[in-house]
Every structure is written in C-alpha cells, then in structure tokens.
Structure 1
Amino acid sequence: MDVLAFEIFSHLPAKSVLKLSIISKQCHENLSSQLLANKQFKNLQDKEDSCFFIQSKHCEKSSPIPLQLKFLCETFRSFCGFPPVSHEFLSMTGSILASHNGLLCCKNIYDAEYPVFLCNPVTRTWLPIIKPTINFNNNHPFNFILVDHNQEGDYMLMHVGSRLCSIYSPQNKVWQERGEMMVGLRSIDFGSPAYLKNENGGGTIYFMSDWNKYLTKDSPFYWPYIMSYNFGNSISRFLKIPRPARKGVLDDNCKFGVFKFRDPECGTESICLIRLMKLVFSVWVLTDVDLNTWRMIMKARSKAMGLYEDSRPTISGFTVMNGNLLVIATSDNQLFTYTLTRDLTTSSNVKRAAKIGSHDQCGREDVCFYSYSNTLRPCGHGELPLPLQ
C-alpha cells in the first residue's frame, strides 16, 4: 500500500475499513495490518465521537442490560455501527461500565474471577480482565475508568474501590495499587468522570460529589464539591462549586454533573459543571483551577430549549459529548442535543434543541451515557475473538 492510500484509510471509520478489506486478498492483507490499526485509532482520538450508548443507572447486578446504540446524526448509522454478533454478545453478557476511543469496558455477570472485560465491538474482539485484588466486591458498584495513558496511545484502566484505586497492566495482566484517594465526607460519583489529558501524556480526572442533606452547616463539606485526582503525582484535591450553583442545591429535584468542556472558538479545554433544577439548565466553566474561579456560559429553561411544548417530561439524564454538545434524555423516551456555546455555523442567536431519536425501556429511570467512536483499537495483549463467532 502506498503512503497516500495508507493515510487515507487511516482516517476512515473502522466499519468502512473492514468492508473494504473483503474486496480482495490484497486489500485484506493491506488493511488488516497492526500498523494501520494503530494509526487509525490514534487519528480518531482527535475527531469527535459520532454515537453513544445509553443504559439505566439502576440496572440489576445479576442480569444483562439491553444494548442501545444511538447516533448524533442519522447519517452516521451507515458507517459507525458494528456486527450483530457483537451486539448479541454485549447484550447477553452484562452492562457497560466505561468507554473510550472504540473500546468498551463491560461487566461480565457470568464470571466471578474475570468480572470485567474490554471489547472492541467492530473488530469482534475482547479481553477478559481478572478481578482487582484490593477492595473489590462483586456485590458493590463497579467503578472502572478507561482513559488514554500516554502519547503512544496506550490506554489506562482504573478501578476505584472505596477510597483505594488501582491500575491494570495489560502486559503483565495484574492490578497495581496506586494508593488512597482523598474523597472528603460526601459520596463520590465515580461512574461519571471528566478526564483532562496533560501535555506530558498524564492527566487529571474529576468527579462530582453527591448533594444530599446529611451534613451540618459547620462541616467544610456541607456544600457539594468536585474532587480531582492527578495521575502523575497521585494527589487529590477539592474544588468548590460556584456560589450561585449552591442556590436550591438541597432541593430533591436538583441534579449535577461535571464534564469535559472544549471551547470551539479557541480550542482550549477545561471542565464544566451543569446543574439541572426545576427543568432549568445552568452551566459554568472552570476558568482557573488554582484560584477556583468559574464563568457561567448558559442558563436556559427546558421549554425554551425546545425539549417539550405541552407536556412536561422530567429529565432522565444528560451528558456532554465532544466538549460542547449537551445530550439530553427525557422521561418520555426522547433524545435531544443542544450546543452549550454559540453555534458558529449560523448567525442566529436563537438556539433550539435538535431531536435525534428515542431511547427504549428507561422511562423515568435515571440513565447514563457512554460515548463511542468506530476504531480498530486493539483490546490489548492476549485479546480473543468473541465467543459467539
């Protein structure tokens, strides 16, 4: 394969590459190389994700969860899906715990010794992961985090049990203890992290605390907060939420989320805090982590956003994809997207949510999202073909 063709193929979605590989024996040999796979998934790291999985937050621990893959745009469906055998395997095995750059970290309800696995559904491969040796209980919430580890494209799988965290080594197939996180006096939502990568390849991960009413006002942790953990120096720290975000924070209808944010005009990255209270979305962006300063970029009512007209559904869940796109699921099973900042493709200042489809079997339950990109990324040393093939 010449250099130009190699470069072109390395920018295509994995589904398109695999379709082209069956044209002839020569195409299969050229497009099945590990070199192309490595180049392709690294190229797609810099591109926006085109689809996501949605599932209930309150899924049963002992039963599989129906797999729901949704697309940000209907045109993505033709080249960003994956084979039915992968869909069947994932739907029968358990539930998704984390997702990054084409890899899914999933729960395996049928194997207590290897309770989690990595899977690339488009290449139909998987890698069973032995259970962590520290603070792991099959009956407790599975808190696994999957992120990029360095500039070479290696991934890092992290497990958080209570306050102790450990990192999985794919080469040695062992869990390595990384010490204790400082989490404060509130419960931490380890299942919905926001990760910012540093220039040196390391990174910092951010988690939102809960906001329930069980601490007294004289406690330094009375108000909800954001906890961060630096992978480079293993240091934890706390960020105060903006003072305006505290208003009504103890209301039972209040919801918070912390997400990665990217400014489309200048390309800078930070985290954003989203508060949903009484069907009103408020969004703040962290402007200085050392000074703990925030800037409000959005406040909008759900009706003004176009999420409903007559009936008033509740919000089942929300997330931020690609750094600037708010994805919303409603209790009447509808899915919407809404840009957090001004749409640079139009001169209009009026923004409306775009309906992108519906979701199934979730209803009024809280839901969670896992963004997905169509890559050839390998699961790691010792990966296997899916057993249903």
Structure 2
Amino acid sequence: MEMLLMLPDEIVLEIFSWLPATAIQKFKSASDFFRTMPLEERHFVLKQSHNALLRKDPCFFLQPNSCKKYNAINEFHHFPSEKTSSGVPHNFLKFLENYPACRILASSNGLILGCSTKKNNQTELFISNPSTQSWFLIPTLNHLKEYPDSEINIVFECHSKDFMLFLFEVPAEWASSCYIVKFYSQEEDCFPYLHKKSPYFRPYIMAYTIEDGESRMLRVPKEARRGSHDLSCKMGIYKWGKVTSLDGSMCLVRLRKCIFTIWVLTDYKSCKWKRVLKIRVRAMGIIEEEPITVKGFIVMNGDCLVFATKKKIYRYGLSCENYRVIEEISEHGFDDDEVCFTCYSDTLHLCGDGATTLPLLQQSY
C-alpha cells in the first residue's frame, strides 16, 4: 500500500485499470486516498472495461435450463482461485432472487442481460452492471409483445464502448423451416435482419458477417453428425484459444451417451475441423456414484470445459498448462434439472445513456 502511495497518479490508475471491479471497490472502501482517485470517470471506466477483455472470466452464473415464469433461480460460482478478487455484491444476488421471475440471458464484459416476467405476463428486458449497481431497461421487443410465451433466444455481445443484441425469432407456425435473426444496438433500434429458409434437419452452423451482411453455412464434422438424432446428444459452439490471442477460433462440443467430443475449427474458408478430445465422463477422474449424468456444459475462456453433474460442478483443462486436469469447483442445488452456464467478469462498464440505480432496496415489485 505504501509503495502505491509513492507512485504518480497516472501509474496508479494504470495499475488499477487491470484489476477486477470487486478489487477496485475494496481498495476504495479501505483507504481515503483511493476514494479521492478518479476511478469513476469515463476515461478510466472505458480503460478498465477494455483491459477486462484481455482477462479470463473468473466466475459464472448457473440456472435451470427451462426457466419457470414465476420461479427463476440463479446461483453464482467462482473458480477456486478467484474468490477473493472477483464476484458480485450480495445485494445484487438478492435482487435476482426477489425481482419477478428474473432470469439471466447472457453476460459480456461485466454487463448482464436479464429478463423478468411480471404477473401480467409482460416480458421485461434489462441490462445491468452488478458492480456499479446500475441498470438500463430495454423497450420490449415487438416479437415478445406479440408472443409473450415464446422462448427467448438471444446473444449479447459487449465491447468497451458499445453492446449489441442478436435476437433469434422463432416463427409461431409449428415445424416452420424459417428463422429470423435481428440485430439491436445502443445507437440503432434494429439493423437489417437475416432471414433464412432451410430444408435441412441435420446440424450445421450458420456464420453471419455483420459488416457486409453476408452469411454462409459451415459444415460440422461427419463424426459430429452421426447420431445427432439421439435424444442424449447435445451440442454447442464456443470461443476457442487464449483470451489475448488475435487468431482465436471456435470449437464444437458434443455430449452423447456420456462421451465428450471436441473439435476445433482450423480453417474457416475450407471448413476444416480437428478433433482435440474424446473421452467418457467417468474416465475424467470424477469420484461420484454411478451413473454419472452431465446436466449442462460450457467452454470458458477458450481453454477449459466446465460441466455440471447432478450435484457438482467441475472444470476440465483443455490447454497445454492444465490439459486433462480435472478440478471440482463446487456443489450446486439443482439436482436433476438441466442447467445452463453464463460466464461473468466484473467490470465498471457503463450500462448506457439513461441508466439508473438498480432498485436493490425495494421489497416488492
């Protein structure tokens, strides 16, 4: 602490810009000197948010995969080595618990995209920063007004200055072969949307370039297509490679009959994949009673597979440093429910113009 006091303010701010928001708040509460630092000015906030993109996500939210409208439950978990430096305030977790059927849809660069279903069946979307305890209500999208009971498929991408929403609209007609993707940002209500008809029922990946509006279909590996009709087959695509790497790619993860298989896309143009892992769950070194059932999974930070069984959450290394090393993270309370993960990293990122203080102290909504 004494060494920091001896440094010029510019150097101290540079050091602080690399810290998680939780650690910054602890410094501010522990010292009058740090309370006088301009840690809430826009320039510092943008720099801290930008630097956070170069760090690994240290935490995640866990919730049931099928959210009940009036009984949404969220759990928050850390990686074991990150409990003291990162996190969310306890009163934010209480807000998630008390706000009507509050569900986390996505998270990016410290901001959380949340959804709430009121008693009148009205769907409310909002963006919140748990660290700064601020939020920004998003006008209800027309699709959700028209079909309030429809499943919300949305992707949230946030950079140091702006954020964007990708809404996948599922048509009301049963067994329709048409889907719609719409793009929303802070600056514009809606970008031109992608409208695609597909006669295919086998798995494939659709890639869309926002800058020029071009799209293409990426074939998945033949091995991944085999048995994809099996009810036990679950697949997902995730970022692959180090957070600081400029040449990162994506990976395809398939879980079928308690076997994890992971492929990495090595060439985008020719659509070439390389299998990097194939292993039975019970061969990972887990000590649990048989049968071991996986209830949900995700690849975090491009280098580790995180998955939940009926009672516990594990991390399985995929990179050179911790390749095939299994680590128990914690227990969870969802038992037989299928679960989904939402990565989280605490930052000072602004929620946008018009953001207000999160209604943490309200007891009823």
TM-score tier after normalising by the smaller chain length: 0.7 to 0.9
Q: Report the alpha carbon displacement of residue 26 of structure 1 after superposing the two structures with TM.
A: 5.3
CA RMSD of aligned residues (A): 2.4
CA deviations on 1:69-110 (whole Å, 9 max, x unpaired) are 11112x312221222221111222210011101110000223
Counterpart in the other structure of 1:338 = 316
Q: Distance in 2 between matches of 1:234 and 1:124?
A: 36
Tell me if structure 2 keeps the 8 A contact 1:183–1:227.
no
Q: Residue in 1 aligned with 2:12?
A: 5
Worse-matched range after superposition: 8-17 or 18-27: 18-27
Quote the offset at 1:56 in angstroms: 0.8
Percent identity, aligned pairs only? 32
The number of residue pairs the alignment matches comes to 341
Q: Which amino acid aligns with 1:144?
A: I
CA contact (8 A) 2:240 2:249 kept: yes
- For normalisation by structure 2, the TM-score amounts to 0.86
- Distance in 1 of aligned mates of 2:104 and 2:346: 16
2:327 aligned to which of 354, 376, 387: 354
**Cross-structure match for 2:95:** 89
Equivalent residue runs for 1:1-389 within 5 Å:
2-23=9-30, 27-30=34-37, 31-60=39-68, 62-73=69-80, 75-93=81-99, 94-110=102-118, 115-134=124-143, 137-148=147-158, 153-162=161-170, 163-171=179-187, 175-182=189-196, 184-185=198-199, 221-262=200-241, 268-331=247-310, 333-341=311-319, 343-344=320-321, 351-360=324-333, 362-389=334-361
- Partner AA of 2:139 in structure 1: I
CA 1:125/1:223 → structure 2, altered by over 3 Å: closer, same or farther? same
Kept after mapping to 1: 8 A contact 2:134/2:356: yes
Hey, what's the Cα distance between the residues in 2 that align with 1:363 and 1:16?
33
CA pair 18-264 structure 1, distance change in 2 beyond 3 A: closer
Look up the match of 1:207: none
Which runs of no fewer than 5 residues in structure 2 stay unpaired? Answer: 1-7, 171-178
CA distance in 1 between partners of 2:213 and 2:337 (Å): 35
User: What amino acid is aligned across from residue 166 of structure 1 in structure 2?
Assistant: K
Aligned twin of 1:193: none
Check 1:252–1:133 CA distance in 2 against 1; reply closer, same or farther (3 A cut): closer
The TM-score normalised by the length of structure 1 is 0.81
Give per-residue Cα distances to partners, 1:165-188, cap 9 Å, x unaligned.
Answer: 3333435xx621422332624xxx
Consecutive unaligned residues of structure 1, counting only runs of 5 or more, are 186-220
Find the residue that maps to 2:85 and give its secondary structure: helix
